[in-house]
Amino acid sequence: MRLNRDLEKLILTTLFVCLQSCTTNPTDAQLKAWRKQASDRNAQIVAANTNKEKPSQWNLEIQGETATGKPVELNWQQLHVLATEQVKTPDPTNIIQPNQVFDFRGIKVATLIKQFGVASDVSDVTFVGFDSYHTTILLQDLQAYPIILAIAKNNKPIKRDEGGPIYLVFPFAQYPQLRQKYNETNWAFYVSHMIFGTEKARVRVNKRELDLATLDKLPQVTINETVGYRLGWSSGKVKLHGVRLRDVLKFAGEKLPEQGKVKIRGKARFYDDAANLVRLSYSEMRECDVILATKWGNERQLIPAKMGGPVTLAFGSQCPSKTNQTHWVKFVEELTTAQ
C-alpha cells in the first residue's frame, strides 16, 4: 500500500539526511522520536488521501525561474499529449516487488525544461507532491538522462496508492550510475509542482501580496531551531531569520480578534485539505515567535526551494508543543484570516 511506503520513505529520508550531515550516529531515542514523527506524518497523509481526484482533474504547475518568469499550468490533456517517453525499470519504492521491471510512460523532464526554458543561473529543479514531500534533482542530470514524470504504468493509469497520477521515475535499469546520486527517496509520488531554481518570495495575505523587499522592511527576528520538516536541512539547530507572523498581519491591516485564527497554506495540495490545514490562533502567535522565515544561517542566505523556500513557517522553542514541530509549513504562499 502507498501509505505504508510513505512511512518507510520518511524514515529512510531522515536517516539519509542524517548520514550526510550528522557527525555522530543517531541514538535509539532519536530513532524512536523520528519514527514517531514519521508515524504522525503518515496519519496526516492518510487524511489527505481521502480526497481521490480523478486524473482528468490533475494539473502540473511549472514555476520558478523559467525563461519568462511566469508560472505555467499544464492540464491533464496537455500532459497526456506530452507523455511519449518510455522507461522500463524496477521501482525501488516497491518493497513487495523490488526486482520487477515496470513499463512507465510519461513526460521527459528535459522536454519541459527545453520547452519553457530556465534562467542561466538555475542549477536544479524541485518536484513537490500532493503530500508536501519534495525532492530536488540537478538540472544537468535532468537534461542528460530520460528522467520522466510518469502517468502510466504497464499501459494503465498510475493509481494514487502507487504514487499516481504523476510519478517521478528514474531510468535505473538503463543508467545504473544514477543510483549513485539518487535513491528511492528521490522518486516523488503524485507530483503537482515543478520549481525551476527557486521562486521569488511572495506571500498573499487575504487580498494583499507581500514580496521579499516588503517583508524585509518589517521588524526582523532570528530563532535558532531544528527545522520541523527536516528534509533538506541538517539534523541540528540552524539560525532562521524572518518576520513574526503577527507583524505581517498587522502590516497588512488585518485585525485579528482574540478568538480569530489565521490559516497558513503552502504550495502542496495537502495544505488545502481541511483536516491538514494549519490554523493558528492570535494567542498562539502572541505568546511566542511564529515567523515567516526567508533567510538562514550566519550569512543570512535566502532559503532555496530544495530546503522548502523561499518562505517557511517556523516556530521558536518557546511555542506550544502542538505547533513546535508538526505544523512547520514549507513553500508558504498564502495567509487567510478567519473567525
The verdict on 127 and 113 lying in the same domain is: yes
The residue behind cell 522507461 is 87
The verdict on 75 and 162 lying in the same domain is: yes
The single-letter DSSP state of residue 310 is S
- Per DSSP, helices labelled H in the chain are 2-21, 28-48, 76-82, 109-116, 139-144, 212-217, 245-251, 282-287, 321-324
The verdict on 329 and 273 lying in the same domain is: yes
The verdict on 64 and 176 lying in the same domain is: yes
The verdict on 43 and 118 lying in the same domain is: no
SS3 40: helix
Range of the domain at 36: 2-48
Amino acid in position 62: I
| Strand positions, DSSP E, the chain | 60-64, 72-74, 85-90, 101-108, 124-129, 134-138, 148-153, 156-157, 167-169, 191-196, 202-205, 208-211, 220-225, 238-244, 261-266, 278-281, 290-296, 301-302, 312-315, 332-338
pTM: 0.83
The verdict on 249 and 267 lying in the same domain is: yes
The verdict on 220 and 331 lying in the same domain is: yes
Of the candidates 73, 44, 109, which has an alpha carbon nearest to the alpha carbon of residue 328?
Answer: 44
How far does CA 286 lie from the centroid of its chain?
A: 28
pLDDT for the residue 4 = 38
Q: Which residues of the chain have pLDDT under 70?
A: 1-57, 257, 274-275, 321-325, 339
Residues with Cβ within 8 Å of residue 78, at least 6 apart in sequence: none
d(CA 79, CA 92): 25
**Which CATH number is 92's domain given?**
3.90.420.10
pLDDT for the residue 54 = 59
How far does CA 331 lie from the centroid of its chain?
A: 7
The verdict on 22 and 131 lying in the same domain is: no
How many structural domains comprise the chain? 3
Q: What CA–CA distances, in Å, run from 2 to 62, 66, 89, 272?
A: 25, 32, 19, 20
Residues with Cβ within 8 Å of residue 331, at least 6 apart in sequence: 128, 132, 134, 266, 267, 268, 305, 308, 309, 311, 312
Of the candidates 324, 215, 323, 333, which has an alpha carbon nearest to the alpha carbon of residue 261?
Answer: 323
SS3 116: helix
CA dihedral 217, 330, 250, 278 (to 10 degrees): -170
